[in-house]
Amino acid sequence: MTTVLLTDITIFVLALLVGFEVISKVPATLHTPLMSAANSIHGIVLAGAMLIAVTAHDALGYILAFVAAAFAAMNVVGGYVVTGRMLKMFRRSRTPVADATAPAAVSGNGQAPAAGQRGGQS
Amino acid sequence: MSAFDWITQLLYVAAATCFVLGLHLMNSPATARRGNQVSTAGMILAVATTLALVAHAGTVTTTGWIVMLAGTLVGSGAGLYAARTVEMTAMPQLVSIFNAVGGGAAALVGIDDYVRLASGGIAESTTVFTILDVLIGAVTFSGSIIAAGKLQGLIDGSPITFPGSRAVNVAAAVIAVGGGIYMIATPSVVVLFIIILAALLFGVTMVLPIGGADMPVVISLLNAFTGTAVAMAGFVIGNWALIIAGALVGASGGILTKLMADAMNRSIRNIIVGGFGTGDSAPAVEGPGGDVRSIQADDAAIQLAYAQKVIIVPGYGLAAAQAQHQVAELASVLEERGVEVSYAIHPVAGRMPGHMNVLLAEANVPYPQLKEMDEINPEFPRTDVALVIGANDVTNPAARRPGNPVSGMPILDVDHAKSIIVIKRSMGHGYAGIDNELYVNPKTSMFFSDAKSALTELTAAVKTLVS
């Protein structure tokens, strides 16, 4: 067993424990947004999908890179936007009915610069 | 390690910190939005760091860049569109789809790594993680698509079994695991694709026999799977950000799966492996007989309007009838009269964990009124009217006694209220297939109607009464 592998396993186990600790404190009221937020966090696989491109030099590599990037980007962008949209609906007091289908401005805009950045650095 | 490596690794640590902080801030509705923003910031940081890594590698061809950017843009567009247009009642389907694509992407990362390195010889330890990544990712992908299809009504929501379906399921599992073990000793791309197909088949045959009422557990479990697959992908490509983020999601999905299974009085193994009693028509069990008292809108309205404290108990039926706006309107009319209104939310109300809260929040119900089971149960004895809408088994007092299908299931103590009104279409059984003793309680009045029209009638009746 290599040191690298041992380090990876250590990180994995500790992250699991942190996850259990933090998430067990989330109230049942927020379980749907929590799952949606967790959903967007596993969109980090976009990083892995992008790294496929580093070594892709044939058709199979390109196809894998494209599909993986599309899947992961859908996961990450959709996840954050819908979580934001849901959380916006939770209000402390009754307020005039807002348009529930309005786009979630915060996370929606949050993702836009990311796409721009990608283009800029390339 | 070069300075560049140091910086990128530290940036990944910063991103992981943002994810943990983001989840931590979700512990209260007041800070949850900030949590989502912190988490988003972490994700932007992680993606930007990866972009720098990719650019720094310098081996990406022009086609590679185009493919990567095009894929990202297409996916982002699809995700953005889905997230902005989805109805809150359709949230479980959307979460399932995101689970599917997340798991699928994780599997693809593993496949790419294996196919590329198969000829050059891979370390055995890496192969183990690649196989786990690909298998879990593929199962999540096909399983989540089936789950989404069932939730959307594209696939029959009741348990689907065909002759030999269990055998196919077991065979798929054996091929997937057996092929995986073979691959550790003998690297083979052909075997990789065989086990992928077996895993996809396993995902389908795992979810098909699971009934609609068990969906909260299935979605949570698939969420945990996706997280684990992403973490395994992190092991494969040696990326800590993926390992940490995947572990966090795995923990979250695991906790929710446990909570849902407990709240439904089922073991996880029972739901996944058993596949029995997963329909809405389990064999009926004789309950104690008794007279059922039915009530009309006017009488129910009088009870509600002259109450001091009303607890509304919404269940799956309310979500199915999409009557959350009607219930919120009735509550606001009552509140204007000075009636204290709160909502008792059972953990499995709705189609995914916490679903009912989101539906009511969308209907403009302030979150302090949404009470969890443990919080609201002591309040029932001093409640004048408990209004049960489309909830059945979770209110059955029989759960307190041993020897029946709901024994031991955590329930809302609705029968402790001074009087009870149940809105229900018929005396039909709930998911557990037994009579609800609450309905024959002398304090209970049954309002036989569809949730939406019943609530509209009630609201109108209360308004007439008041004016």
ipTM of the complex as predicted: 0.87
Residue B248 is predicted with a pLDDT of 96
Q: Is residue A66 part of a domain?
A: yes
Q: Is residue A56 situated within a structural domain?
A: yes
> What residues does B343 pair with on adjacent strands?
B312, B370
Task: Classify residue A55: in a domain, yes or no.
Answer: yes
pTM of the entire structure?
Answer: 0.86
pLDDT at B284: 45
Q: A residues 82-121 near B, CB within 8 Å?
A: 82-95, 97, 100-101, 103-104, 106-108, 110-111, 113-115, 117-119, 121
Looking at the 3D structure of chain A, how many domains does it have? 1
The partner residues of B109 in beta bridges, in order of sequence, read none
Please report the pLDDT score of residue A57 as a whole number.
Answer: 84
Given this model, what pLDDT does residue A1 score?
58
- What amino acid positions of B are annotated as catalytic residues? 393
Does residue A38 lie in a domain region? no
Contact B80 A37 (CB under 8 A): no
List the one residue out of B451, B449, B446, B421 whose CA is nearest residue B290: B446
CA dist B99 and B358 (Å) reads 19
Q: How far is it, in rounded angstroms, from Cα B293 to Cα A93? A: 37
**Residue A35 is assigned to a structural domain of this protein:** no
Residue with tokens 């990567």: B68
- Domain assignment present for residue A112? The answer is no
Give pLDDT, residue B274: 55
Q: Which of B21, B53, B97, B98 to mutate to test the interface with A (most CBs of A within 10 A)?
A: B98
Rounded to whole angstroms, the Cα distance separating B407 from B403 reads 6
Residue B281 has pLDDT above 70, yes or no: no
Sequence-ordered list of residues with C-beta below 8 angstroms from that of B108, at least 6 positions apart, any chain: A49, A52, A64, A67, A68, A71, B137
* Contact check, Cβ <8 Å, B94/A78: yes
- The pLDDT of residue B58 is 83
Number of other residues whose CB lies within 10 A of the CB of residue A2 = 10
CB contact under 8 A, A30 and B32: yes
Question: What are the tens digits of pLDDT across the range B361-393?
Answer: 999 899 999 999 999 999 999 999 999 998 888
Residue pair B339/B414 in contact (Cβ under 8 Å)? The answer is: no
Whether chain B has a CB inside 8 Å of the CB on A28: the answer is: yes
Contacts of B27 in chain A (CB under 8 A): 22, 25-27, 30
| pLDDT for A49 | 93
Instruction: Please say whether the beta carbons of B36 and A36 come within 8 A.
Output: no
The residues facing B389 across adjacent strands are B314, B423
What confidence tier does B156 reach under pLDDT thresholds 50, 70, 90? confident
Domain of residue A53 covers: 45-91
Asked if residue B396 has pLDDT above 60, the reply is yes
Cα–Cα distance measured from residue A98 to residue B377, given in angstroms and rounded to the nearest whole number: 32
Residue A73 lies in a domain: yes
* Dist CA B346 CA B313 (whole Å): 8
Restricting to B residues 420-449, those with a Cβ less than 8 Å away from any Cβ of A are none
Spatial CA neighbour of A88 closest among A101, A78, A73: A101
Cβ(B217)–Cβ(B155) below 8 Å: no
B88 touches A86 (CB < 8 A): yes
Distance CA B202, CA B196 (A): 10
Q: What are phi and psi of B448, to 5 degrees?
A: -80, 105
Residue B247 burial (C-beta neighbours within 10 Å; 0-12, 13-18, 19+): buried
Judge whether B135 and B201 are in contact, CB under 8 Å: no
Indicate the helix (H) or strand (E) that contains B411. Answer: none
Would you say residue A19 lies in a domain?
Answer: no
A114 — pLDDT class (breaks 50, 70, 90): very low
The dihedral built from the CA positions of residue A87, A90, A91 and A94, taken in this order, carries a sign that is positive
| pLDDT given at position B119 | 67
Q: Is the pLDDT of residue B287 over 70?
A: no
Instruction: Round the average pLDDT of chain B to a whole number and report it.
Output: 88
Structure confidence at residue A113 as a pLDDT band (50, 70, 90): very low
Q: Could you give the maximum distance between any two Cα atoms of chain A, in Å?
A: 61
| Across A87-94, average pLDDT | 87
B254–A29 C-beta distance less than 8 A: no
